[in-house]
Amino acid sequence: MSAATVTGSDLFLEPRHETLAARVEGFVRERLAPAHIDDEAPGAALRLLNLLAQGGILDHVVTAPYGGTADPLDLRAICVVREALAHASGLADALFVMQGLGSHPLLLGGSEALKSEFLPGLRTGEQAAAIAITEPGAGSDLGAVATTARRDGNDYVLDGHKQFISNAGFATFYALLARTGDAAEGRHALTYFLVEDDRPGLATSPQRLLSPHPVGEVRLDGCRVPASHRLGAEGSGFDLSLRTLNFFRASVGAAAVGFAARALAESLAHAAGRHQFGQAIAEFQGVQHYLADMATQIDASRLLVLQAAAAQDRGEGRPELASMAKLFATEAAGRVADLAVQIHGGAGLVAGSTVERIYREVRALRIYEGTSEIQRNVIARELLRR
């Protein structure tokens, strides 16, 4: 991404967003890239988180009362940051957004004492947040959450099993969704709790996915947390989940744009430098058509993302816009990454190459924070309500 690229979308952005885009690009160029942090190296996540904190990047996922930059959060700013970070590093993007996503139930439902204790540390990197929703039997269907929270005096006792939790084993606290009522009550008996990583009865184990991010399982066996760590009223968990996911959903599309734009940049450079049959492959019409399709899908994705983010920042209740942005941008990123590998040929299959990494990174975007199928459901539901 470049500041010039973002300026082309100024229908939805303000000058401060363009300034931010340039600043984040400077951070990537002057601090992130020269650090040469290997995502798969031990300690990479902590090094990146500290770098993001030192560069003031994490300020954009913390509200102003707790040391951040805006109140309420500025989704367009978050999207601008995510596009720039994803262009450079999938892990940096994931760490950035998890500070906001993992703490959002706390921001929405936590007591002032709890927010004052945990939120300021997010921007400094002293705290690392995670949101623990998914279980072996509960993914898209939140009503199937089986982890239980039983009231016992001034505490709740939690038992259950979460999986595919970003930052598991790395987070200092989890916004964890549990059942505080009967299974028959479904989504109406869900409640969030803030659970610190060092609570007795909480254990984590890593899960290795396509991309080398800290993801894992969280097991709770008689894990006792104070009632003051409940986020919102009992039974408010489903609503808090929707409010959290709906807010950040468009930003997944922004990350997709960043990955896709990097894939296009790599493809343009490769097509210009790779010669076959006596000419650069960029001279072949077939390759030119690939590049044209890639650029068109990236720009269309960016506009959908910024439209949805601008609507959110205006306080408009338009969940279909966020779903359209996530659906189109993440699906487009998959197509762009595939074309990038095709343009690179055998070089695109080399493990660790930029386009091979992007190919793996973008696949998860169509699943987490609501699958493409769920986004289609949301869009259709909103259309039929009109």
Q: Which residues pair with 224 in a beta bridge?
A: 157
Distance CA 208, CA 110 (A): 32
Residue 370 region by backbone torsions, left for phi larger than 0, else alpha for psi between -120 and 50, else beta: left
369 an active-site residue? yes
Of 156, 164, 159, 157, the C-alpha closest to 130 is 164
Distance CA 286, CA 59 (A): 44
Q: Which residue has the tokens 């894939």?
A: 263
Catalytic residue selected from 25, 83, 369, 382? 369
3-state secondary structure at position 354: helix
- Report the interhelical angle of 90-101 vs 44-54 (nearest 10°): 70
230: phi then psi, degrees, rounded to nearest 5 = -70, 135
Of 164, 197, 212, the C-alpha closest to 43 is 212
Q: Which residues pair with 223 in a beta bridge?
A: 158
Which residues are identified as catalytic? 369
